[in-house]
Structure 1
Amino acid sequence: MEIAENAALVVVDVQRGFEEEDYWGPRDNPEADRNIARLVDAWQASGRPVVFVRHDSAQPDSPLRTGYEGNAFKEYVEERRGKGRGPELFLTKAVNSAFYGSPDLDAWLRASGVRQIVVAGIQTNMCAETTARMGGNLGYEVFFALDATYTFDAVGPWGWTLSARELSRATAVTLHGGGFASVVRSEELLAAVG
């Protein structure tokens, strides 16, 4: 795996509101936060660009709603913002894809000559996956750090229920098998950025 000197790490929605278990239910991948932090540290130390994405929910009961404490980044993310040697972007969004946020992620990446992105964050099968899919559709080489994401059990139509683990596996198969992204582990990325 070759990671370009200007490959951007896109850190999606690592917000305090996702700690509210009563709202979200059971989650997977307890190591995700540690892996996200390690990726941010490696990207910042190498001078590569980091994008911090915050979801500003319009839903009045959402733990991610604007003005609520859960809207803020988790502490380990907040304390890392502004600490890197490379470029940094903070953007907000109200939908799943970071490419539909403000400021315009695609324009920022293209202006910087970025052709590779690494996606990490929350939720695996929602905003992280949607951002990766759209990145692939826009022509970026996308790496999806599966163990630096997590999600929650979910109920679909007809009462169908999937566990967080099943949803994460489905995301990995869809992204990788569908050609949207290369699904990788954090250790592989950390070794590649050296």
Structure 2
Amino acid sequence: MADDVLVLIDQQKAMRHPQWGPRNNPGAEENIGRLLAAWRMGGAPIVHVKHDGTRPGSPFRPGHEGNDFLEPTAPRPGETVVAKRVHSAFIGTDLTMRLEAMGRPRLVICGVLLANSVEASVRNAANLGFTVLLPGDACWSCDKRDLTGRLWPAEDVHQLTLALLDGEYATVTTTDAVLNAKT
């Protein structure tokens, strides 16, 4: 696992915007921080994916505070930052090329929102032939209203998304399992 790449999705101040509504997994940021600390300690490769929103009013728009990284997981000098303009970290970026130059390592993907940018990135990674570990407790989800008007609680959205990704697109795991396998 020493050569695994940690990919952090959208760890930006915009995720604190009230537009997202109620969320689950209040420990996600702590788990993301634990993964990041382990990768840094081991000198393993890290990719910070940053969303540069293009829609008017997007809290992710460059030049606005929401575009800034969250302090606890902000990149350090020398760590790779990939800016994306759509949901997937693989579309319109050089991420695939960077990973191929590293020998197509296994990816550990975490961040937010699980049923949005994380899911899009995991699916694309798998479709490109990468092996993906997805620590579900290092991601979080928000309540979501479906097209019939039913409101799905964040935890239900989270668990269903993990179930849809597990096996075909990623191996869903936990932060502890990833960290235990690293030692």
| 1:115 CA drift (Å) | 2.5
Alpha-carbon distance, 1:94 to partner: 1.0
What amino acid sits opposite 1:187 in the alignment? D
- Match of 2:111? 121
Query: What is the Cα deviation at residue 156 of structure 1?
Result: 2.2
Question: CA–CA distance in 1 between the matches of 2:97 and 2:130?
Answer: 12
Which residue number corresponds to residue 17 of structure 1? 14
| Contact 1:6-1:48 within 8 A present in 2 as well | yes
Matches of 1:37 and 1:117, distance apart in 2: 17
TM-score of the two chains, using structure 1 as the length reference: 0.90
| Number of the residue aligned with 1:147 | 137
How far apart are the structure 1 equivalents of 2:46 and 2:104? Answer: 11
The offset of 1:53, in angstroms, is 0.5
CA distance in 2, matches of 1:101, 1:160: 34
> Aligned to 1:96, which of 84, 87, 92?
87
C-alpha separation between the residues in 2 aligned to 1:152 and 1:81? 28
Q: 1:43 & 1:113 partners in 2: Cα distance?
A: 18
Q: Distance in 2 between matches of 1:180 and 1:94?
A: 22
Deviation at 1:61, TM superposition (A): 1.4
Q: Which amino acid in 2 is paired with 1:10?
A: V
Q: Any idea what SS the aligned residue of 1:128 has?
A: helix
Aligned partner of 1:37: which letter? G
The answer (yes or no) to whether the contact 1:8–1:114 under 8 Å persists in 2 is no
Q: Percent identity?
A: 36
In 2, distance between residues paired with 1:67 and 1:160? 36
Structure 1, 35-44 or 153-162: larger mean CA deviation: 153-162
Following TM superposition, the consecutive aligned residue runs of length 4 or more in structure 1 with deviations greater than 2 angstroms are none
Aligned length: 183
Offset from partner CA, 1:107-128 (integer Å, 9 cap, x none): 1001111320000001011101
- Return the letter of the residue paired with 2:76: R
- The CA RMSD over aligned residues, in Å, is 1.3
Separation of aligned partners in 2, 1:124 and 1:137: 18
SS in 1 for 2:83: strand
State the Cα distance separating 1:101 from its structure 2 match.
4.3
Matched, 1:55 2:51: yes
Q: Report whether the alignment pairs 1:35 with 2:26.
A: no
Unaligned runs of 5+ in 1: none
Alignment correspondent of 1:75: 71
Quote the Cα distance in structure 2 between the aligned partners of 1:164 and 1:73: 23
Q: Secondary structure at the match of 1:188?
A: helix
| Aligned twin of 1:187 | 176
